[in-house]
Amino acid sequence: MNERLKQLRLSLNLNQEEFGKWLGISKSGVSDIESGRRKVTEQHIIMLSNHNISEKWLRTGEGEMFVPRSVKDEIGYFVEDLLDYDGEGNPFYDMIIEMMKDYHDLDEKSKKVIRDYFKKVSDGIKKEKD
């Protein structure tokens, strides 16, 4: 399992410090796991499963490294990534929250106008792609 964690980290192009953040451990903790001085824990497996890493692959090496995501999961992942909030501020996150608050305060007629406008824009983008 230790070798698979290293293989995973390298396939994700993460350094040990970045990968450690995924696992909730330090850079030296990742190094200890990769070298076999420390075991992979259940908590590490859970943390990685939250990133769509296959638990079966982690434990046995069988199957694919990554679990395919549904469209809904994919959208959730994109939103989570875009709105990554580290507690120190994220202008994009703050802007989206303010837009949601303002939208919520609108009357139903105004909300419909906004939804219709974005549908028109979306339809235009789809036509351009075709």
pLDDT tens-digit profile of 77-109? Answer: 677 677 766 666 677 777 887 888 899 899 999
pLDDT tens-digit profile of 28-55? Answer: 999 999 999 999 998 888 888 877 889 9
Residues 104 and 75 in one domain: yes
Whether the CB-CB separation of 9 and 22 falls below 8 Å is answered with no
**CA dihedral of residues 31, 32, 34, 40 (deg, nearest 10):** -130
On whether residue 102 sits in a domain, the answer given is yes
Q: Is residue 6's pLDDT more than 90? A: yes
Residues 10 and 51 in one domain: yes
On whether residue 96 sits in a domain, the answer given is yes
Q: Which two tokens stand for residue 35?
A: 């070298």
Q: Is residue 68's pLDDT more than 70? A: yes
Helices (H), the chain: 2-11, 16-23, 27-35, 42-49, 55-60, 71-82, 91-105, 108-129
Confidence of residue 9 (pLDDT cuts 50, 70, 90): very high
Per-residue confidence (pLDDT) for residue 73, from 0 to 100: 67
Per-residue confidence (pLDDT) for residue 19, from 0 to 100: 92
pLDDT tens-digit profile of 20-35? Answer: 988 889 999 999 999 9
Question: What DSSP assignment string belongs to 55-86?
Answer: HHHHHHS-S-SBPPPPHHHHHHHHHHHHT---
Residues 8 and 44 in one domain: yes
Q: Provide the whole-model pTM.
A: 0.54
Per-residue confidence (pLDDT) for residue 49, from 0 to 100: 81
Per-residue confidence (pLDDT) for residue 74, from 0 to 100: 67
50: domain range? 2-60
On whether residue 99 sits in a domain, the answer given is yes
Residues 15 and 38 in one domain: yes
Q: How far apart are CA 121 and CA 26, in angstroms?
A: 45
Residues 54 and 76 in one domain: no
> CB count, 10 Å around CB of 55?
13
Per-residue confidence (pLDDT) for residue 86, from 0 to 100: 62
Q: How far apart are CA 114 and CA 72, in angstroms?
A: 23
Q: Is residue 76's pLDDT more than 90? A: no
The total number of structural domains in the chain stands at: 2
On whether residue 123 sits in a domain, the answer given is yes
